[in-house]
Structure 1
């Protein structure tokens, strides 16, 4: 699955574009059909109430309205899929399925660390009361900060703050820690080996190559089980015939929790005795579209 990441991404974009074109064409045909039907009614011709043609005329006009409504729905679908294709094409986030994810994340981490140090150095210069404004601008220039930006930094903002505000350093530092954690998780995943286990007749497959935790049920699970799977990030894959999500410690935990908590005789969920609260690791272990795209 990782090996064909870029191919799957392009296939996804192509599929969205094809659906957009299909619905756009369908919408045009429906609008044309409605227009042709409406053209047979003389302009301004009202429904002749009480006339033998009243019922037939009302039904005919209702059909026209119905086809127009269908055309609007098709047009909305075309716009929806066109936007999905554009988003997929412009998406620069780093997917965990990308075989070069660790390299890309490492480069991103290094850039964020450099920016963090730049903000600290700039604030130290800007808040130095011994320097004049021109000296501050000159020293900021030594850190490759353009004069226009330097002038903006030394001027108080609407909160009377100068330099890079503290929240930017805090947020950037939090993102640095998040990326570091994600790199560590990917490195741990790369060291894993694919494995399979069976509990209550339900198979759980750690698919390292595909970067998925997969659950295979012998039959379609009950709605309560499906709801719990979805609530913890698992999605049904028609291709794999399995409920799956990207590999993470949270995914492993919840996969075991769910299948060990199923009453095989009733095909329903029971409360696990070792976790009466039902609590466990929070989160789904992957970003939807921050740095990852599990839908690919």
Structure 2
């Protein structure tokens, strides 16, 4: 399953949680109404009357159910927000199938923005151009005419920190692209060292360790500190594949603790 598929599955799971919470909220609301349906609207508690205790209990049940309904409604809203956040997450991970393509596109867009900001600043500062020519030149760069009018009229330029931050994004994306291209150029491989199976899954940006039993506490601690997590589904310890994780595997396989039988 690709990261995109996992992302879609997670969003769907959150929506299912939200739908279930909505159903519980509706059921609780109906229970709240049913608890007092036999009491006339606006009927006060008749203190000292034989109906007083039943009336109070009915109100308590109604209030409790209503609070539960509100809580479930809030929970439904929370899970819907989670689903939307997952669906709108357009971060690029180097293990994605389309990471190289998307990173190249991102770099091109950021580079174009950098050139646009630098060009706009140069135009606004130009002393040899009329305001009309400056506005036309800014529009030609892709800046809207209302914004161009404002920039020229008020001598507004793109501040230096915007250029610096955008340039940092370009450099970060280039580094990420280099890693993504390196991953795509490598083939997945599997090998065994002293009954320990290692899978280097470059296609998924994961490295996995399969022990014949439960590794010793010292080994488990090292793996956790090194970013490895136990996967119940796969029955292995896995981590993002990088030089650090591969070096840790070399260390672990050369100094493996004896397995014990206490489970994972």
Same fold (TM over 0.5): yes
Match of 1:132 in 2: 130
Match of 1:45 in 2: 45
Counterpart selection for 1:172 from 163, 166, 169: 166
Is 1:26 the counterpart of 2:24? The answer is yes
Match of 2:183 in 1: 189
Match of 1:78 in 2: 76
Match of 2:108 in 1: 110
- TM-score, normalization by structure 1: 0.68
1:84 Cα deviation from its structure 2 partner: 1.8
For the 8 Å contact 2:25–2:70, the answer to whether it is kept is yes
Is 1:241 the counterpart of 2:235? The answer is yes
The structure with more helix, counted as a fraction of residues = 2
Q: Which of structures 1 and 2 has the larger relative contact order (alpha carbons within 8 angstroms, sep 6+)?
A: 1
Structure 2: gaps spanning 5 or more residues: none
Residues matched between the structures, number = 257
RMSD over aligned CA atoms reads: 4.0
> Structure 1 residues 40 and 232, CA, compared in 2 at 3 Å: closer, same or farther?
farther
User: Per-residue CA shift, 1:213-237, capped at 9, x if unaligned?
Assistant: 23445339869957973x6654544
1:22 Cα deviation from its structure 2 partner: 1.1
205-214 or 241-250, which deviates more: 241-250
Q: How does 1:210-229 map to 2 (within 5 A)?
A: 210-216=204-210, 218-219=213-214, 225=220, 229=224
- TM-score, normalization by structure 2: 0.75
For the 8 Å contact 1:189–1:247, the answer to whether it is kept is no
For the 8 Å contact 1:47–1:57, the answer to whether it is kept is no
> Structure 1 residues 164 and 253, CA, compared in 2 at 3 Å: closer, same or farther?
farther
1:133 Cα deviation from its structure 2 partner: 2.1
1:33 Cα deviation from its structure 2 partner: 1.8
What is the DSSP-based 3-state SS (H/G/I as helix, E as strand, rest coil) of the residue aligned with 2:12?
helix
Whole-Å Cα distance in 2 between the matches of residues 62 and 254 of structure 1? 59
For the 8 Å contact 2:216–2:257, the answer to whether it is kept is no
